[in-house]
Structure 1
Amino acid sequence: MLERLNQVMDHIERHLDEPVEVAELARIAATSEYHLRRLFSALAGIGLSEYIRRRRLTIACAEVLAGERTLLDVAVRHGYGSAEAFARAFHAVHGVGPGEARRTGAALRSQPRMSFRLIVEGSSSMRYRIVEKDGFRLVGRKARVPLVHEGMNPAIVSFVKGLDAETKGRIEALSDQEPRGVVNVSDGLAGDRSEGTELDYWYGVVTGADVPEDLDALPVAAGSWAVFEASGAFPQAVQHLWRDVFTQWFPSNPYRSRPGPEISRTRISADGAHADAELWIPVERVPA
C-alpha cells in the first residue's frame, strides 16, 4: 500500500499545473476515494486536497518571486480562474498577497513534497476481529462538534454534561446488541480529518428497537466491521487507537474503510484516568 501511495505522490507532482482528480489518485492507489482520503490524512496529518493546494501554492510562490511571469499568468498556470482568486488563496497561506511578496521579498511558507516509508517500532500487536452485522439504528442525541486529535474535546464534554440523567437512562435502556451500552459515535465528517473539521458526535446506543420521537436516529446498513480493542490512559488510549488503525492496520491488511459511522465503546475508571475501549470501523475487503 505504501508503494502505491508514493505513486500517488509522484502523480500529484507531475500534475500540479493542472486539475488533480481524486478519482484518478484512488485508481492509482487501487482503493476507494473515501479510503484514500481517510488513510492519507491519518498518515500525513493533513487532508489530501489541502496538501495538493499547498504544494501547488509552493510551486507558484517560486514563480511569483522569480518575477518572470505576470501574476495573472502564474494564477492561470496553477489552476486559478483569476488573479483575485489566486491572491486570496496565496494570502490565506502566507499572510501577504502575491504582489506584496514580489515587491518586498517576504518570507513565505513552503509545503515540502511528501513520501511514505515504513518504520517498524516495537513488537506490540493489535487486537481485532471482523464482525458481520445486519442493519441497525443508532439512537440517542447528536451535536455538531469540531474534531480534536489530542486531549479532551471541550465541545463534546459540554454536550454530554448537558444531557439530563433521565434522557441518558432512556437511551441506555434501548441498547440490545453489540456494541452494547452507550457508545460514542463520529459521523458526517466534513472534508478531510484536519484539526477543527466538523463532525456529528452521537451519544447513543446500537439498537433494533423502535425510536422514541424525541430522540435522534441514524439507520446504518448491514456490512462488515473491524473491531479493535485497547486499554490505557484516557483519552489518549482511544485517540491513539484510531490513529494506529489507519497508520498501521489498514496498510498491512486486505481491508479498506467504507462510508459509515465510527463507533467507540469506552469504559472509564472511577478516577477518569484509565479506559478500556473498543473501536468499530466500517470496512470492506479490498478486491483481489
Structure 2
Amino acid sequence: MNTNAPIQSAIDYIEMHLSEPLELAQIADKAYMSVPNLYRAFYALTGHPIKEYIRKRRLSQSAWLLRHSDKAVVDIAFECGFDSYQTFAKMFKKVVGMTPGAYRKSVVHYSFEAMSLPERVCYLEEGELSARYPDVKVIRLLPMQVAVYRHRSGEREGLEEEAVRTVFELLDRLGAAAERLRFYGTNTQLPSADRPYGYDILIPLAGPESDSAFQSEAFRITTFPGGLYAVGKCPETTGADIVAAWDRLLCQWLPRSAFELGAHPYIEQYFTYRGAVTRMNLHLPVQRQMEPETLDTIFVKPVTVVVCRAYGPSAQNDADDRLTTWLIQEGLTGNPELKLFMSYSYSVKPGDEFWYELSVSLPDNRAAACSTTDSGTSLGEWGGGLYACATSGAYGLMTGVLDKIHRWLYENEIYAADASRQWFAEYVPGEGTDLERSTSVKCYVPVIQTACRNKGGM
C-alpha cells in the first residue's frame, strides 16, 4: 500500500486548519486510516511525530507574525492555534530558545516550512543521512600519544562527571592546567568487586615537552590506536542531553547508514574553558557493513510471556527495574531458557504519553507456577500471525530499524501494517563477554497481505 498520497492529504489538512483545534481522529479520517496507523505512517515518511510537526508549524507561523506584524503577542498566540498565551510562550522559548518578545527584537530567524511529501520522500531516498543528520560525519581518528588518567568508582551514576572533575584537580596540582583544553573519555569495565566501573580520560600530547607535564603516578603515557568513527555534536552537557545525543547516533543514524557497530571503544570528546565543559562531540565506533540487513515476511508462532509495562519519561528504567525484581523473586535470573522481548510506543517521544515494556518467555515447567500478582507484571503473548522482520545489531530503541520496516510497508503493494496487533523485538544473545556488540535484535512488525505475491518473492 503506497501511503504517500494519504499522508500528504493529512499534511494539507493540517495546513488549512493550523489556527483551529486539531483532533488526530479528524486528520486520520482525511488520510483514510486509523489514528495508530497515522502515527506510524506520518513519522516514518516525514521524520516527525505528528503532534511535534503541528507544534513546529504553529511556532513557525507565529515567528513570521512576530517579525512581520505589529500584532500583540497574545493575539498571535491564539491566531496560531495555541489555547493560551502561557502555553505558547513556554513552547516558543523551549523550541526557539528565547521568549516571543525577545525574538521580535532579535536577528534570529526560526522557520519550519510545511512539507511537500513527494519531494521529501525522494530526497530522503537520495540523501537521507545528510538531510536528517547534517552534523554527523564519519572520520578516521589517527593513532595519537595520550596521557591517560583512569578513574575508578563503585557507582555507575555520575562516573564521567566525577572523572572530569578529578582530572582538572590533578592538572591544577601538576601545573598542567590550560585555559582551553580538549580531551577524550571512554568507559571501561574493571575486574574489581568494590570498584567495577572505570572511566579513562585521554589527553592528547603534543610532543616530549608535554610528556614531562604528566610525570605522575596518576597518569600513564600510551598510544591510542584510533579508528573509524561517526561523530555527532552534543552542545548541551547535562546527563539527559548526552544520553539523547548517544541515542540519536546509535538508534537512529546507525541503522540508516551503510555502517555497523565497530569493535573499538566509544569515545566522548570534551571541549573545556577554564575548568568547565562547554560542549562535547560523541564518537561512535563504526565499520562498513559486511552484509546488508535483510527484511523478510514470516509467520511467527505465539509465545506466552510475562510483561512489565511502564509509562512516562522514566518508563525504560521503571520497566527494567520491575522485570529484574520479578526475575529475582521467581528465581529465574540467569536462566538460559528465557527469551527477552521489548516493545514501546513507536512514533511517540518520551513523555507522559510514552510507554515501554520488557517481557520474558517462560520455561514450560514454570509457566503455571509463576506469579504475576502485585509485582507490576502481567501475562501476555507475542506472535501469532504474519510479521515483517528485520535483524540488526542492538541499537537502543531500534527507531531507525522500525523506520525502515514501516517505510518499506508504506511503499509496497503486497503488505500493510496490521494496527490490531503490537510490534515487538526479540534479543538474541551472541557469543563472548561483550553482549552489547554481540547481541542481535529481531524486530517484528505485524502485517496483513493485501495482494497476491509474485512467485519471485520480495
Paired with 2:421 and 2:314, the residues of 1 have a C-alpha distance of 17
What is the DSSP-based 3-state SS (H/G/I as helix, E as strand, rest coil) of the residue aligned with 2:417? Answer: strand
Structure 1-normalised TM-score?
Answer: 0.73
Q: 1:137 touches 1:218 (CA, 8 Å); kept in 2?
A: yes
Give the 3 Å change call, closer, same or farther, for CA 111–286 of structure 1 in structure 2. farther
Q: Deviations over 1:15-73 (max 9, x none)?
A: 22222332232223222110110222233332101101110110111111123322232
Q: CA RMSD in A?
A: 4.0
Q: Is the 8 A contact 1:147 1:199 kept in 2?
A: no
DSSP 3-state at the match of 1:60: helix
Where in structure 1 are there 5+ consecutive unaligned residues?
Answer: 176-180
Q: Which residue of 2 aligns with 1:169?
A: 332
Larger radius of gyration: 2
Q: 1:117 aligns with which of 121, 146, 164?
A: 121
Are the structure 2 counterparts of residues 192 and 278 from structure 1 closer, same or farther at C-alpha, using a change threshold of 3 Å?
A: closer
Q: Where does residue 184 of structure 1 map in the other structure?
A: 341
The correspondence of residues 1-288 of structure 1 with structure 2, limited to 5 A, is 1-102=3-104, 104-114=105-115, 115=117, 116-118=120-122, 119=125, 126-131=295-300, 137-142=304-309, 167=330, 169=332, 181-187=338-344, 189=345, 192-194=347-349, 198-205=354-361, 209-210=367-368, 211-213=370-372, 216-219=377-380, 224-230=385-391, 232-235=392-395, 240-252=400-412, 253-258=414-419, 260-271=421-432, 272=435, 273-284=437-448
- CA contact under 8 A between 2:425 and 2:444: conserved in structure 1? yes
Superposed displacement of residue 251, structure 1? 3.2
Q: TM-score, normalised by structure 2?
A: 0.49
Bigger mean CA deviation after superposition, 117-126 or 24-33? 117-126
Amino acid at match of 2:395: P
Aligned residue for 2:121, secondary structure, equals: coil
Contact 1:237-1:275 within 8 A present in 2 as well:
no
Percent of pairs identical after alignment?
A: 18
Question: Comparing both chains, which one has the higher relative contact order based on Cα–Cα distances under 8 Å and sequence gaps of 6 or more?
Answer: 1
Do the aligned partners of residues 159 and 45 (structure 1) sit closer, same or farther apart at CA in structure 2, a change above 3 Å counting?
A: farther
- What one-letter code is carried by the residue in structure 2 that aligns with 1:117? V
Q: 1:178 maps to what in 2?
A: none
Say if 1:166 and 1:91 are closer, same or farther in 2 by CA, change over 3 A.
closer
CA distances 1:76-132 after superposition (whole Å, capped 9, x unpaired) = 212223333322222222222222222x22514322322242437999762122458
- In 2, distance between residues paired with 1:120 and 1:168? 51
Say if 1:100 and 1:106, in contact at 8 Å, map to a contact too. Answer: no
Alpha-carbon distance in structure 2 between the residues aligned to 1:223 and 1:163: 26
Cα–Cα, structure 1 residues 26 and 82, in superposed 2: closer, same or farther, change >3 Å?
closer
Distance in 1, Cα, partners of 2:331 & 2:421:
24
Given the superposition, is the C-alpha separation of residues 94 and 160 from structure 1 closer, same or farther in structure 2, using an over 3 Å criterion? Answer: same
